[in-house]
């Protein structure tokens, strides 16, 4: 007679194709939200709110269109609503250490500092430039897809991207970021 074995844990609610897609998109939604908010905890709160809204409005999603773009639009809409509600104007000095995220990548110290500097530089961009930069440069959406998400013409997307990258280049090019990254790569 052998001891009674532990019962397997109960599984969660039954999956649906919609929620499966949602779960699969979570890593990218978290990244997009991190770029928007600059904060790991705020980003996850934002993604959670977006998940709840998406599930409530899943009937509005049109099959054949990009699911990730639809979710990015929901994330962005909630984020803009939150910005308006708070009327928050971030100051550079207020950027907390936590904005670097709670689980930083395993890199050398120099490279990690450089990545943090880049994220802080992105955080200093105006909200609409930050969002456009994340959609196109990080998430790989085309200009048209980004324009659909943001609800603006393609020309506006191009303009925002150009201004965002120039501002970043100016912030990063002559600063410690570039030097520290070069040092890290040279080692």
Closest to another protein by CB, 12 or 84? 12
133 is a site residue for another protein (CB under 8 A)? yes
124 is a site residue for another protein (CB under 8 A)? no
Q: Rounded to the nearest whole angstrom, what is the least distance from the CB of residue 87 to another protein in the complex? A: 27
Residues 153, 146 contacting (CB under 8 angstroms)? no
Closest to another protein by CB, 11 or 86? 11
Q: 134-170: buried (b, 16+ CB within 10 Å) or exposed (e) per residue?
A: bbbbebebebebbbbbbeeeeebbeebbebbeebbee
Residues 108, 128 contacting (CB under 8 angstroms)? no
Residues 43, 76 contacting (CB under 8 angstroms)? no
Q: Tell me how far apart the alpha carbons of residues 113 and 109 are, in angstroms, rounded to a whole number.
A: 6
64 is a site residue for another protein (CB under 8 A)? no
List of residues contacting another protein (CB under 8 A): 2-3, 5-13, 15, 19, 22-24, 26-28, 30-31, 34-35, 44, 47-48, 51-52, 55, 101, 103-106, 114-115, 118-119, 122, 133-134, 136-138, 142-143, 158-159, 161-162, 165-166, 168-169, 172-173, 177, 181
């Amino acid at each position: 007679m052998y001891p009674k074995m532990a019962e397997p844990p109960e599984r969660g609610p039954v999956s649906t194709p919609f929620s499966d897609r949602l779960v699969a998109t979570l890593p990218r939604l978290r990244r997009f939200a991190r770029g928007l908010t600059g904060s790991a905890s705020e980003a996850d709160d934002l993604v959670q709110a977006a998940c709840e809204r998406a599930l409530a409005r899943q009937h509005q999603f049109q099959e054949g269109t990009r699911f990730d773009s639809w979710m990015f639009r929901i994330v962005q809409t909630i984020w803009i609503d939150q910005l308006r509600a708070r009327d928050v104007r971030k100051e550079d000095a207020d950027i907390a250490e936590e904005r670097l995220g709670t689980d930083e990548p395993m890199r050398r110290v120099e490279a990690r500092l450089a990545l943090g500097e880049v994220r802080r530089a992105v955080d200093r961009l105006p909200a609409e430039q930050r969002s456009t930069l994340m959609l196109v440069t990080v998430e790989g959406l085309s200009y048209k897809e980004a324009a659909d998400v943001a609800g603006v013409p393609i020309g506006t997307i191009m303009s925002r991207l150009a201004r965002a990258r120039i501002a970043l280049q100016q912030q990063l090019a002559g600063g410690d970021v570039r030097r520290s990254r070069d040092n890290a790569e040279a080692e």
